[in-house]
């Protein structure tokens, strides 16, 4: 059997880089670091960010700026804006990637599968027929066909100014 190599160069940044001491979803108010943080859009109360460790190409998240852990802690205004950003994100993904479907939702609490339970965030994952290939099922490996920076460059203009 020949050895297969799967390249994921952006993983090295995580492996060797500093680990955050604070909540990764509590972002600074100024947008100077948005590209580095993969923030695609800032609203008044919430924002859209790319997942640095995506399940699929184009995996996005929507989070409130305010540090809250449960949907019942959101204000009406936050709830409205977040749902609008989820809808906008699905539209952008459909335009940019033409997925066959989209998973959109949130996990509340660690027991429900939230990787970062302390700060509420919606996951928006584009899906294609057959994207759960043998790599994901047997190799526990996700194949992401486009580098994160290329995906950012492609998606950022679709969210507007």
What CATH number is given to the structural domain containing 45?
Answer: 3.30.428.10
- pLDDT, tens digit, 9 for 90 and up, residues 81-123: 999 999 999 999 999 999 999 999 998 888 887 778 889 999 9
Digit-coded pLDDT (tens) for 112-128: 877 788 899 999 999 98
- In this structure, is residue 118 part of a structural domain? yes
Domain span including residue 78: 11-159
67 is known as an active-site residue: no
Catalytic residue among 67, 100, 119, 121: 121
The tally of domains found in the chain comes to 1
- Residue 1 included in any domain: no
In a domain, 134, yes or no: yes
pTM above 0.75, yes or no: yes
Q: Report the alpha-carbon distance of residue 65 to residue 45 in Å, rounded.
A: 6
Residue 142 located in a structural domain = yes
Dihedral over Cα of 94, 97, 98, 101: its sign = negative
Distance between CA atoms of residues 123 and 102, nearest Å: 10
């Amino acid at each position: 059997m020949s050895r297969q190599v799967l390249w994921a160069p952006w993983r090295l940044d995580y492996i060797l880089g500093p680990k955050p001491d604070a909540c990764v979803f509590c972002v600074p108010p100024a947008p100077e670091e948005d590209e580095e943080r993969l923030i695609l859009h800032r609203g008044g109360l919430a924002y859209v960010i790319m997942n640095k460790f995506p399940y699929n190409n184009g995996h996005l998240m929507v989070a409130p700026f305010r540090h809250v852990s449960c949907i019942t802690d959101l204000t009406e205004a936050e709830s409205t804006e977040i749902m609008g950003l989820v809808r906008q994100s699905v539209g952008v993904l459909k335009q940019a990637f033409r997925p066959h479907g989209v998973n959109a939702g949130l996990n509340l609490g660690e027991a429900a599968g939230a990787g970062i339970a302390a700060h509420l965030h919606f996951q928006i994952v584009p899906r294609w027929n057959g994207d759960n290939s043998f790599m994901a099922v047997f190799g526990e490996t996700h194949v992401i066909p486009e580098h994160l920076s290329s995906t950012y460059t492609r998606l950022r203009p679709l969210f507007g100014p």
